[in-house]
Amino acid sequence: MKGRFFFYIMIVSVPLLMGLSAWQSSRYGDLERELKQLEKTQEEWVENNKRLIAGIAFLSSPDRIEHIARDELGLRKKQPEEVLQISITGASGEDTWEGPDE
Interatomic CA distance for residues 6 and 13, integer angstroms: 10
Confidence of residue 64 (pLDDT cuts 50, 70, 90): very high
3-class SS of residue 98: strand
pLDDT at 12: 86
Q: Are 101 and 83 in contact (CB under 8 A)?
A: no
pLDDT for 22: 94
Spans of all domains in the chain: 2-91
Q: How confident is the model at residue 7 (pLDDT cuts 50, 70, 90)?
A: confident
DSSP 90: S
| Kind plus residue range of the DSSP H or E element containing 87 | strand 85-88
∠ CA 19-23-29, rounded to 5°: 145
Residues forming beta bridges with residue 87, ordered by sequence position: 96
User: If pLDDT is split at 50, 70 and 90, which confidence band does 92 have?
Assistant: low
Global pTM value: 0.52
